[in-house]
Amino acid sequence: MKIVNIRLENNNTSKTCNYGEELSILVLSTGTLLHCTKVRLCLVPTLGWTRFGIKVAENENEFERKWGHWYVAYHGTKSNFADLILSSGLKTGPGCWAAGETVVYVSPSIEYCAHPRYAEPWNNPNNNGKYHQLVFQCRVNPKCLNSDNTRPETLLRDKNVQIDKNFSNKELEWVIRPPSQDIQYITDDIICYGLMLRTADGHPEQLPSSHWWKS
């Protein structure tokens, strides 16, 4: 566990939150310290996640002007990649819908991104064996999405199981291509503005929302 300084936010998952008092908080990591000097805390009890809001604008008005009309999406990752994503953005890579190109995958569903293929769980034996997962909250430029790059899930064996009641299984993978293939990190059309941390007493596969993991 590491201690970093952050700012306390209001409970708001769709936009930047108001600035508050600075405080210290324990950040659980598998190894290196997350250099989160621009990260602030938000609680999202209805989802079972704690949200760390990433400062991408000076105030709410600036955020709304730049990205308020962009789509909300999520990107699951291993905890040791968080520092790199905070400093550089989401890195492109191959995938089943990439057609030989390098792309970034995001999803409108945080439950889909929480699958261990993406948000690999880790535990800390010194913290009563609790498990943790990490998912980034993003905004995506609507101009990047169309019927060709809004693709179905690729994790289920039983295709009759619904992963997230809020979304069709046919729209769970958004394939975002960079302007050119020599660009490694997409920073203009995707912004990461929240870091979602889920903590569970047991392995997250035991959570009700993870019922589909073994399907």
Average pLDDT score over residue span 57-82:
91
Task: Give yes or no for residue 28 having a pLDDT over 50.
Answer: no
Domains of the chain: 2-214 (3.90.228)
Nearest of 40, 36, 43 to residue 21 by alpha carbon: 40
What pLDDT is recorded for position 8?
34
Q: Within its chain, how far is the Cα of 154 from the centroid?
A: 18
Q: Within its chain, how far is the Cα of 31 from the centroid?
A: 19
What pLDDT is recorded for position 17?
35
What pLDDT is recorded for position 41?
44
- Identify the H or E element spanning 113: helix 110-113
pTM for the whole thing? Answer: 0.79
Q: Greater confidence, 21 or 186? A: 186
Task: Give yes or no for residue 92 having a pLDDT over 50.
Answer: yes
Q: Give the pLDDT confidence of 100-113 residue by residue, as tens digits.
A: 788 899 999 999 99
How big is the chain by its Cα radius of gyration, in Å?
A: 17
Q: Greater confidence, 96 or 117? A: 117
The answer to whether residues 75 and 42 touch, using CB atoms and an 8 Å cutoff, is: no
Token digits of residue 29: 């990591």
Task: Give yes or no for residue 197 having a pLDDT over 70.
Answer: yes
